[in-house]
């Protein structure tokens, strides 16, 4: 008969053995050490300095002192001495300082949870948090990784995450939240068509797109086109958006300056200065790939108005041409709209209005020519209206051979691109000597400035100067012509034109 039990190696009492209580007590001590096994630590290689009776440890590798040669064994402090026991495969021990359960497998102690290979039919699982009936699987963590099982490990190298719902009317989705309030949801929400929707508050949902499962056709509820408009008012660089696929450039030249009126003797024809021409308009659309990353934009200045005449019996001074607005890519000018021409100075006959600026483009030019003054010194006609362009500036009023002063001419109507509305006209000055109204400001960011009205003629006695023309507004509005005067009084000055602009519409 064996001296010990086969599993725990407890000593057995032999027949007729003396002092049976000694053997019995030894067996009880071993049971006390091994049953419900819990150790203080498993990482010490030498005994602690002040152990308590019954303290147990799993001895670490390369032990020393009283534990020498006991690596992996269970050491117990009993009756002032250290005893050890060799564990058997499958023994479990709770390690108190780690609050972890370990199992003796393959000659080593390993974390018990690492031995799990199969978990079946769990009703709840919580990782870092508690699962509940509504969320039987719950995880509270900062990162998660799913990776394919490689072919060398017995897998296929693929990874497919499969989600399934019961019927078309059910929901299968990925819900993204902030503070447990929904912000976006993608999936099969109440149908079998893939959809994406977003929410500002978790209650109101706005559809973004859906994909029809039978045709693959995608429908975007608010469209797919992204657009951005840049209104450039000063010369400098412009950087193309990285997302742009198409870029439309629209250039407007500076408006021409109005001419000043004639100063002459009473009883003669004295005409006002011609109104300036509107800045030209040029437009072209490019593939974004055709353009440099940064374009150079040049904004044309408004033409200067003709100066008032200070000497008797002198014709008016012409207005200056507005500057051209250009778009340059890689040193190559790809779009240009010239400035409107200046109005002619007043004389004894009609003073011609400035022509509208032209365009270096495959598209249109300008059409808002400045008004010419009346050849008889009478009321000037209204300036030309613009077609997709600014309006002409009003001509200055004159004085007839009968010394009747005339009011300044009105500017033309300027077209607002995009909605068919027109800029208001600017009135000419009332005779004698009234100044023309300034050009009307554009009423939206991609609009033309209005042309200025013409100044009225002065009086017959030469005591009232001719009225000044109205200044043209940006973008591209021309200046109005100045009114004529009688010797002894200054003629009206022509007004400056408004600067140009460049509009850039990016689409992607």
**pLDDT per position as a tens digit, 366-409:** 445 544 556 555 566 665 555 555 666 777 788 888 888 888 76
246 and 283 housed in the same domain: yes
Q: Per-residue pLDDT averaged across 119-137, rounded?
A: 94
Question: For position 367, what pLDDT does the model report?
Answer: 46
214 and 234 housed in the same domain: no
The last residue of a domain, from among 93, 113, 133: 113
Strand 332-337 versus strand 359-360 pairing type: antiparallel
> Omega of the bond prior to 475 within 30 degrees of 0, cis?
yes
Q: What values do phi and psi take at 478, rounded to 5?
A: -85, 160
pLDDT digits (tens, 9 = 90+) for 54-72: 899 999 999 999 999 999 9
Q: Per-residue pLDDT averaged across 327-344, rounded?
A: 92
92 and 187 housed in the same domain: no
Question: For position 494, what pLDDT does the model report?
Answer: 94
256/247 Cα distance (integer angstroms): 28
Sign, CA dihedral 174-180-184-190, equals: positive
**Cβ neighbours of residue 265 closer than 8 Å, sequence gap 6 or more:** 312, 313, 486, 487
Strand 171-178 versus strand 56-58 pairing type: unpaired
Question: For position 303, what pLDDT does the model report?
Answer: 95
289 and 356 housed in the same domain: yes
99 and 191 housed in the same domain: no
318 and 355 housed in the same domain: yes
This prediction's pTM: 0.64
User: 3-state SS of 203-225?
Assistant: CCCEEEEEECCCCCCEEECCCCC
Classify 3 in phi/psi space as left (phi over 0), alpha (psi -120 to 50) or beta: alpha
Q: Which two tokens stand for residue 459?
A: 């009086």
215 and 260 housed in the same domain: no
Question: For position 436, what pLDDT does the model report?
Answer: 84
Domain that holds residue 194: 171-224
185 and 289 housed in the same domain: no
Q: Which two tokens stand for residue 415?
A: 């077209």
pLDDT, mean over the chain: 86
Residue with tokens 């039987």: 136
Q: What is the DSSP track for 151-189?
A: GGGTS-S--------SSTTSEEEEEEEETTEEEEEEEEE
Q: How many domains does the chain have?
A: 3
Residue 102 falls inside a structural domain = yes
CA atoms within 13 A on the CB side of 35: 7
322/281 Cα distance (integer angstroms): 13
**244 in Cβ contact with 288 (< 8 Å):** yes
Residue 15 falls inside a structural domain = no
184 and 259 housed in the same domain: no
């Amino acid at each position: 008969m064996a001296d010990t039990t086969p599993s725990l190696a407890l000593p057995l009492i032999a027949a007729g053995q003396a002092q049976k209580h000694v053997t019995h007590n030894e067996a009880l001590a071993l049971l006390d050490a091994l049953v419900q096994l819990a150790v203080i630590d498993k990482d010490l290689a030498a005994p602690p300095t002040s152990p308590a009776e019954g303290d147990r440890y799993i001895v670490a590798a390369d032990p020393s002192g009283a534990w020498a040669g006991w690596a992996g064994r269970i050491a117990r402090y009993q009756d002032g001495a250290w005893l050890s026991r060799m564990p058997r495969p499958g023994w479990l021990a709770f390690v108190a300082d780690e609050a972890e359960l370990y199992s003796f497998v393959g000659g080593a102690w390993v974390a018990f949870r690492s031995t799990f290979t199969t978990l079946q039919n769990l009703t709840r699982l919580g990782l870092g948090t508690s699962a509940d009936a509504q969320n039987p699987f719950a995880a509270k963590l900062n990162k998660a990784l799913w990776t394919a099982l490689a072919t060398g490990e017995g897998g296929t190298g693929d990874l497919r995450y499969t989600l399934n719902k019961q019927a078309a009317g059910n929901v299968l989705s990925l819900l993204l939240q902030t503070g447990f309030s929904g912000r976006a949801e993608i999936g099969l929400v109440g149908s079998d068509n893939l959809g994406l929707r977003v929410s500002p508050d978790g209650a109101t949902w706005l559809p973004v797109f859906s994909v029809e499962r039978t045709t693959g056709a995608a429908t975007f509820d608010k469209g797919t086109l992204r657009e951005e408009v840049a209104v450039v008012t000063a010369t400098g660089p412009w950087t193309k958006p990285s997302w742009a696929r198409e870029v439309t450039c629209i250039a407007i030249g500076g408006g021409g300056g109005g001419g000043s009126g004639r100063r002459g003797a009473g009883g003669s024809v004295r005409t006002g200065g011609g109104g300036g021409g509107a800045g030209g308009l040029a437009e072209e659309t490019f593939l974004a790939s055709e353009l440099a990353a940064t374009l150079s934009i040049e904004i044309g200045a408004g033409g200067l108005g003709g100066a008032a005449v200070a000497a008797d019996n002198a014709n008016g001074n012409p207005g200056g041409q507005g500057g051209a607005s250009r778009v340059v890519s890689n040193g190559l000018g790809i779009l240009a709209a010239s400035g409107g021409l200046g109005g002619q100075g007043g004389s004894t006959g009609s003073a011609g209005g400035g022509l509208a600026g032209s365009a270096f483009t495959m598209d249109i030019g300008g059409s808002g020519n400045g008004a010419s003054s009346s050849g008889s010194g009478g009321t000037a006609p209204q300036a030309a209206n613009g077609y997709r362009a600014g309006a002409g500036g009003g001509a200055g009023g004159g004085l007839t051979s009968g010394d009747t002063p005339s009011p300044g001419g009105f500017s033309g109507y300027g077209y607002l691109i995009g909605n068919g509305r027109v800029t208001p006209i600017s009135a000419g000055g009332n005779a004698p000597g009234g100044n023309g109204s300034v050009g009307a400001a554009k009423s939206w960011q991609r609009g033309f400035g209005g042309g200025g009205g013409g100044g009225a003629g002065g009086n017959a006695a030469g005591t009232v100067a001719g009225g000044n023309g109205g200044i043209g507004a940006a973008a591209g509005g021309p200046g109005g012509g100045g009114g004529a005067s009688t010797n002894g009084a200054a003629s009206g000055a022509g007004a400056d034109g408004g600067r140009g602009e460049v509009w850039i519409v990016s689409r992607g």
